[in-house]
Amino acid sequence: MGREALLVFESLDRLVGFLGAYSREANLDDLVPTLTLERARRTGGGQTFLLRCQAVDGYALDRLMRLAKVTQSPVYAGSGAFFIQTRDRRAPFGYDLEVSSSEIDRADDVDVLVVEFEFSMGFSIIEGIDPVELILQLALRPVPLPRGGVAEDPELAGVREMALLLVAPGISERVLSYLWRVEADMAGVRVQIEEDARSSLLVRLRQPDGHLLDILRAIPGVELLAPVSPRAAVEVGYEHPIHLASVGRSLPGDDMYILRGGVGRVERMDGAPRFVQGRHLVASEVQVRDWAPRKLAVEELAPLRVELELRATAHAREPRASLVAWRDIELLRRLVYVVPPSALAAARVVALEEGLLVVSGAPRAAAERGSDQGFGVGSIIPLGDRLVEIAPGVLVPDGYELWPRVRASLIRELLGLDGDDRVLFRAPGLDPIRVPADEMIALDAAVVGSLQPVDLEAADVTVTDAGPGTIENQSLGRFALWGFKSQEGGS
Listed in sequence order, the DSSP H helices in 220-363 are 329-335, 341-346
Q: State whether residue 323 is helix, strand or coil.
A: strand
Q: Are residues 227 and 328 in the same domain?
A: no
Range with lowest mean pLDDT among 139-148, 182-191, 364-373: 364-373
Residue 296 lies in a domain: no
Q: Are residues 313 and 250 in the same domain?
A: no
Q: Are residues 257 and 185 in the same domain?
A: yes
Q: Are residues 147 and 81 in the same domain?
A: no
What total of structural domains would you count in the chain? 3
pLDDT computed for residue 365 by the predictor: 38
Q: Are residues 35 and 108 in the same domain?
A: yes
CA distance 333 to 219: 80
For the chain, what is the mean pLDDT? 80
Residue 478 lies in a domain: no
Q: State whether residue 434 is helix, strand or coil.
A: strand
Over 90: is that where the pLDDT of 164 sits? yes
Q: Are residues 42 and 150 in the same domain?
A: no
Residue 486 lies in a domain: no
Q: Are residues 142 and 262 in the same domain?
A: yes
Over 80: is that where the pLDDT of 373 sits? no
Q: Are residues 155 and 107 in the same domain?
A: no
Over 70: is that where the pLDDT of 8 sits? yes
Of 261, 280, 299, the domain-final residue: 280
Q: Which domain holds residue 205?
A: 138-280
The DSSP secondary structure of 242-260, one letter per residue, reads S-GGGGTTTSSTT-EEEEE
Q: Are residues 101 and 124 in the same domain?
A: yes
Listed in sequence order, the DSSP H helices in 26-137 are 58-70, 131-137
Residue 485 lies in a domain: no
Which of the two residues, 261 and 363, has the higher pLDDT score? 261
Q: Are residues 120 and 147 in the same domain?
A: no
Of 97, 129, 161, the domain-final residue: 129
**Segment 324-327 long-range contacts (CB within 8 Å, at least 24 positions apart):** 324/355, 324/356, 324/357, 324/358, 324/381, 324/383, 324/384, 325/354, 325/355, 325/384, 326/355, 326/356
Q: What is the pLDDT of residues 217-244, one digit of tens each?
A: 999 999 999 998 888 999 999 999 988 8
CA distance 487 to 460: 29
Torsion from C-alpha of 55, 59, 60, 65, nearest 10 degrees: 100
CA distance 221 to 277: 22
Percent of the chain with pLDDT over 70: 81
Of 413, 428, 447, the domain-final residue: 447
Q: Are residues 271 and 315 in the same domain?
A: no
Range with lowest mean pLDDT among 167-176, 272-281, 297-306, 475-484: 297-306
Mean pLDDT of 435-450: 74
Listed in sequence order, the DSSP H helices in 245-348 are 329-335, 341-346
Mean pLDDT of 362-386: 56
Over 80: is that where the pLDDT of 108 sits? no
Mean pLDDT of 83-87: 83
pLDDT computed for residue 91 by the predictor: 76
Residues 6+ apart with CB under 8 A from 9: 15, 18, 48, 49, 50, 51, 71, 73
**Plot region of 390 (φ>0 → left; ψ -120 to 50 → alpha; else → beta):** alpha
Q: Are residues 274 and 144 in the same domain?
A: yes
Residue 33 lies in a domain: yes
